[in-house]
Amino acid sequence: MRFSPNTLYVLICSLVALPVAASDTAPARADTDVEEMIVQGRKSDYSVITENAQKIIDVPGSLGDPLMAVFSLPGVISEGDGGGAPAVRGSSPSDNRYLVDGAPAAYVFHAFSTSIFNENIIQDFELFSAGFGPRYSNAIGGIFDIKLRDPKAADIYTKVDLSLLRAGVFVEGELSENSAFYLSGRSSLLQYFFDGDELEEEEGIKVQDAPEDTDYQFKYQYRLGDDHKLTLSANGASDLAAAEFTEFSTEVLEEPDFAGDAKIKNTFNNQSLRWQFAASGSSELDVQIGHYQKNDDTFWGGEKYFFNMIAEDVYALANYDFLAGKSHSISVGAETHSTEYSYDARFINYVCTEFDPDCELRRGELIVAEDAVTIKEHSAYINDHWAITDALALDLGVQTHYNDFTEETFTHPRVAIAWEFIDNWTLSSSAGSYNRLPDIDKTFPQIGNTELQSPTSNHYTLGIKQELANEWSWSVTTYYKTMDELPLASDTNDNTQPFYTNNIEGEAYGVDLFINKGLTDRWYGWLAISASRSTRTNKLTGIERDYYLDTPLVVNWVMNYQMNELWTVGTRLTAQSGRAITPIIGIQPNPWFENRILPVYGEPYSENLPVYARLDLRFKREMTLWGYSGTYNIDILNALNRRNVTDRNLDYKRTQSPQDVKLEDEVGMGIIPAVGMSLTF
């Protein structure tokens, strides 16, 4: 079995989700004001969603989560059934970078899809899916730039969210004439009522700790006059799951070493101090120092195997924006990190990457090791936004990035242009080069290759957009990405080679059609159609394969309609072409375990799963309870109860001989109705 720190959690979550069909729900909003959602490009091919939390949480299928709307945007697909880490325009989820108020975040999504943020505090969310500017470093996929709003200078109030699966408390208010704060705390509730008897009977898995998660955010802000703000922030999250895998589970039938108790606990905490200065609109200075720590603790096989990893980062960053004459806006900035990565492990080393569809056949040796490494990174940038005319703007910038681990220095030129060649018609294009650190778990001594180099990428975009009357707009964007220095897993029988080398390259290209309508006539919505292809190539053999998340066609249609002052209804329809899979054409004896079998694979990624389709509905009603304002929410996920096939595996329980190979379709969730409410005190 291929194993990563999140495998256990995602596995248990997926299994638990099936019998809990009527239990899921989400928090709801307190504010009753309806504001406009804007989905637009900025300067070049930036897929930007800039809106308040009200519009983000109302996207059907997101269960009120502030960031789940990202999976309805062009060029974004998920690892799982509508959730998991996002893959952006043909890149890997590991190629993305997440920022919160400009600072790095270890993760922003819980292991079971939902984000770690309370709906009340998201002010602005921007997704840069390709061709982003020099301000952003250490990413070759997409940038998720999340901005949390400032605390309100108002009387202290409390908002409570309660549902069958989650409870949350949010407190906000003014502490003095110049200071205010907010504090959010949330916890899942599934662990208190989940009954795993059916799961044990059908899957051979005894759930000991049902998947549970917590998160918190705190922000205190002191205003030093009209131009200065000093902000102290803290946020964090945790995920926990535990189960016993019995001899009747598919996981143990595939890999007997997996038998026994297994547990995973991930935690993340971040603290920062930020000073912001704005001088009458002519210049802005943003300086921040901070610290974060992420712990991934995992054991399986009855504590026979474990992998514990800690990442601790101390960072500082600064950005300065100012006007230079009438037509130039200059941005400069720098960022520095000192990050210690340490691990303690005992596990069977499966040497494989995203390029390998047969990971369970790439079993290596037992590894017992511990180590630590500190990596220092420094980056700086400058960008000139030049308004050449009222209709023509050019961005010219450069970024430099250095790390002392690979001892590489990169200089990345980046350019973007936007030309309104006819009233309300804009032509835009961008280009740039990018890099990120190599995967840390593949660079440690004994379990990886300390000589791995940084993956790199080039991005190119070209788009056209038209603004129409009544808040309508449409755009078509094409993109092309190259990727190089990606990791290739070596043959486990070749002791002359390191476990991994930089011998994979890739490319991704596609076109996105985006039709958007802002909020007028009591409704808003959008249609996003993405056609794309993403491949990876072994540079040693020349073998090219489709990327494992390659999804040639994706369609998302979202609409929200305010029926009256109390009721709002929304729909989201998602349809995707079936992903490429590697067919299983037979079985073979398991060379490591007597009387066990493993699959024989055919041509990699030569077959496709059936088309994926899902309809989600959301009904929201404003209400007053005991004199307090609030909302009721009714969500119906997968309203058509379509059993979408998400993977196809060998059925170890029913396969008895090479002449009678049985396959098992892994299906996503069935229909899930969810009810929730919130009250503000």
List C-alpha distances in Å: 422 to 45, 68, 465, 497, 512.
18, 35, 11, 58, 22
Q: What is the pLDDT of residue 623?
A: 84
Residue 251: pLDDT above 60?
A: yes
Pairing of strands 567-576, 597-601: unpaired
Pair of tokens at residue 413: 């030129």
**Quick one: average pLDDT of 668-672?**
85
Least confident among 294-308, 490-504, 606-620: 490-504
pLDDT single digits (tens) 163-183: 777 889 999 999 999 999 999
CA dihedral 12, 13, 17, 18 (to 10 degrees): -30
Residue 305 has pLDDT above 90, yes or no: yes
What's the pLDDT score for residue 82?
56
Side-chain half-sphere exposure of 222, counting CA atoms within 13 A: 6
pLDDT score, position 15:
46
Listed as own residue / partner, the contacts of 391-398 with beta carbons closer than 8 Å and 24 or more positions apart are: 391/419, 391/420, 391/421, 392/417, 392/418, 392/419, 392/420, 393/43, 393/417, 393/418, 393/419, 395/43, 395/44, 395/133, 395/430, 397/133, 397/134, 397/331, 398/134
**Per-residue pLDDT reduced to its tens digit, 267-285:** 999 999 999 998 877 899 9
Higher pLDDT, 26 or 250: 250
- Counting residues of the chain whose pLDDT is more than 90, the rounded percentage is 56
Model pLDDT, residue 208 = 82
What one-character-per-residue DSSP string does 292-304 give?
A: EEEEEEEEETTTT
Distances (CA, A) of 232 to 19, 89, 181, 220, 238: 42, 35, 9, 5, 21
Q: 258: which 2 tokens? A: 């997996």
pLDDT digits (tens, 9 = 90+) for 397-439: 999 999 999 999 999 999 999 999 999 999 999 999 999 999 9
pTM here?
Answer: 0.88
Distances (CA, A) of 677 to 114, 140, 246, 635, 680: 18, 40, 39, 11, 11
> Tell me: the pLDDT tens digits for 179-217?
999 999 999 887 776 665 655 656 788 888 878 889 999
> Which pLDDT score, from 0 to 100, does residue 273 have?
97
Give CA–CA dist 157/173, Å, rounded.
6
Residues 2 and 258 sit within 8 Å (Cβ to Cβ)? no
Question: Can you give the pLDDT at residue 411?
Answer: 97
**How far is it, in rounded angstroms, from Cα 68 to Cα 306?**
32
The Cα–Cα gap between 59 and 530 comes to 19
User: N- to C-terminal Cα distance for the chain?
Assistant: 50
- Identify the top-confidence range among 20-24, 315-319, 467-471: 315-319
